Amino acid sequence: MFVVDSPIGPLGVSVVDETVVGVRFGAPPGSSGDHPAISQIKAYFAGELTEFELPVEMRGGSEFERTVWGQIAKIPYGEMVTYGSIATALGDPGAARAVGTACNHNPVPVIVPCHRVVGAGGKMVGFGGGIERKRKLLELEARVALAKAWT
């Protein structure tokens, strides 16, 4: 496991055969190493990268969870969608809580941006890394998107 120091604390990044298979919040000290995933995550937090270009494998999860993760991966940088809107897009408007659970099980947070999924009305609810990390990730993306709009 590689470890990346970030503004939201250390992130453990698991890589198998050059493919990212996991990201973990609050990782214990480990190898900082030199890997494209580490470089891209650092560039993301520096505001220099708005779209990851990494091979990612979403291991585990139910068919429903994998479908939700696929929807999450499509959310553009700096934008937010609601749990309910994802549930509706999947054909089950009543499944917002199940979408939230699937987000919580996302094995590759930050890279597959479950932090961009919010409650109804933009309410900050639920995040496997904690609400404070979610808020910081959304604030970072909002600042970068605004700066890019003005250049």
> Please, are residues 40 and 74 in contact by the beta-carbon 8 Å criterion?
no
Pick the catalytic residue from 114, 117, 137, 144: 114
How does DSSP assign 11-54, residue by residue? EEEEEETTEEEEEEETPPS-B----HHHHHHHHHHTT--SS---
What is d(CA 127, CA 101) in angstroms, rounded to the nearest whole number? 9
- 91-94: which pairs have CB atoms within 8 A and are 24 or more residues apart? none
What is d(CA 30, CA 83) in angstroms, rounded to the nearest whole number? 34
Residue 114 annotated among the catalytic residues of the structure: yes
Q: Which residues are catalytic?
A: 114
